[in-house]
Amino acid sequence: MLSALAFVLVIAMASAIACTKSNGKNGIDPSYNIDAPIPSQEIIESGFEKKGIVSAETKLKIGTYALDEKPRGIDKPDINMKLGEKIVCGDPHAPTSLIPGIPLFFRGYLTTYEFKLSVDYGTLNRWDVGAPDSILQSLGKEYFTRSKNGMILWAPEDEPPAEPMTTPFRVIVYSDESYKQIVGAALIMLSYDEGGWSMKWVKGVEFPKVDGAFQKIYETDLMDFFKP
């Protein structure tokens, strides 16, 4: 009886701890192992070089919050995500969660630059950090935003997945010039298992100007990059 009670307490504590750094495997679907090493910068740049595209290390900065703590504002993240670092997020629907989704915000560029965000599973949402009781504003599965507009919440489906799964969160950065050009991209993988949701920043890339001009890069050039 005591051992069973201890097990329940451990599970309850795990669901209450959200968006914390973690190592170790949690039975992720073998189609993508969130604990696997990320590709090196050399491999990423080599892939674009074959397309005649000059690339470099990402300038993007991604922040998030613990779900069980009151947000302090978009300039004061609980966690600054790092490439290759797994973040355990728990369950946004848990009673202990003060944020109704997994929060992400993007910086590192001029505030007039735009971020195109897209997901295949769940929805992107707008939520007012200063008014925790505010209702989520659904933005669908694809949305353009700017860093000055604050955070985006990714919310999974109401019913948890029946089995472990992973799903991509894609970011494309567009310049603020009158003729928009792609200047960067990032791939985050969201993963679900019996412990809840976790995420990992898997890839990031920058496309610098060449001879003072933006490179001609199209979303189709990013198809291989967005494969985990």
Q: Report how far apart the first and last C-alpha atoms of the chain are (Å, whole number).
A: 43
CA separation for the pair 64, 194 (Å, rounded): 22
What is the tens place of the pLDDT at every residue in 50-63? 999 999 999 999 98
Report the 10 Å Cβ neighbour count for 161: 14
pLDDT of the residue at 71: 54
pLDDT tens per residue across span 131-158? 656 677 889 999 998 876 667 889 888 7
pLDDT of residue 130: 61
- pLDDT one-digit tens code per residue, 182-208: 999 999 999 988 778 899 999 999 999
Cα–Cα distance, 60 to 132 (Å, whole number): 27
How confident is the model over 71-98, as pLDDT tens digits? Answer: 555 455 568 899 999 988 877 776 666 6
pTM here is: 0.82
Helix (H) or strand (E) holding 14: helix 2-16
* pLDDT at 2 (0 to 100): 37
C-alpha to C-alpha distance for 208 and 33, rounded to whole angstroms: 31
Q: Which strands make up the sheet holding 196-206, listed edge to edge?
A: 20-21, 86-90, 196-206, 182-193, 165-174, 114-119, 142-146
| CA-closest candidate to residue 111, choices 147, 140, 78, 81 | 147
